[in-house]
Amino acid sequence: MKFLLDVLLLLPLLIVCSLESFVKLFIPKRRKSVTGEIVLITGAGHGIGRLTAYEFAKLKSKLVLWDINKHGLEETAAKCKGLGAKVHTFVVDCSNREDIYSAAKKTTKAFLPAMMKNNHGHIVTVASAAGHVSVPFLLAYCSSKFAAVGFHKTLTDELAALQITGVKTTCLCPNFVNTGFIKNPSTSLGPTLEPEEVVNRLMHGILTEQKMIFIPSSIAFLTTLERILPERFLAVLKRKISVKFDAVIGYKMKAQ
């Protein structure tokens, strides 16, 4: 009972915060400068990682690029240098802890502890819409993306609890992206996203310090519905969304 009373007392604050959020929708947020900032990008030898490196290079950031693919990494670095950025590359297997620690000692020595000490930095987690809504036959993928979203949310809350306001966090959650990882994906939420579109939205989100980036934005609405709608109705709604793909293992999804 005491908890319910405490919640009721918070209603005026809820109204104020809701109005504040509504007003902010119509006020363009100022983009921060990342000129001269050290930007570490993993998976920089291909796809979204490579395109993100190009965008930061245009903004004159100092780039530290990691990838397991040496050839792809060198191609990315060459283009970034051509755009006027200072670039350091390291061949790193991000599934190997020793590789990560070895490369870290050669670059920034420490990541989060150093950011916290200086109260300055920005950590971007690349997750997926599949980190919020489960998809049949993508069990391992969804599990890893739910973990990524959980990492982002917990890290954000820990920084807030420690009153470290200078270290920002952002989590990217796109729908299917045309990277070749999943064959022939489709959904009624919209067409398969191109990497360039995702990176443009990601850069805007980083520079305006958005905490969660959903692409398309309708996914944010769906994640809210999943928490409040009856389970039976959700099952019907998911069939209407009609997620289809040719699984990597060769299993052909049945039409829904």
> Which residues belong to the active site?
141
- H/E segment holding residue 167: strand 167-174
| CA atoms lying within 13 Å on the CB side of residue 213 | 23
Report phi then psi at 192, rounded to 5. -60, 135
Peptide bond before 12: cis, by omega within 30 degrees of 0? no
List for the chain the helix, strand, coil content (%; round to 5).
50, 20, 35
Which H or E run includes 159? helix 139-161
CA dihedral over 84, 85, 91, 96, signed as positive or negative: negative
Number of H helices, E strands in the chain: 10, 8
Name the nearest CA neighbour of 238 among 107, 129, 114, 159. 129
Name the nearest CA neighbour of 43 among 212, 177, 205, 150.
Answer: 177
Tokens of 96: 């190997």
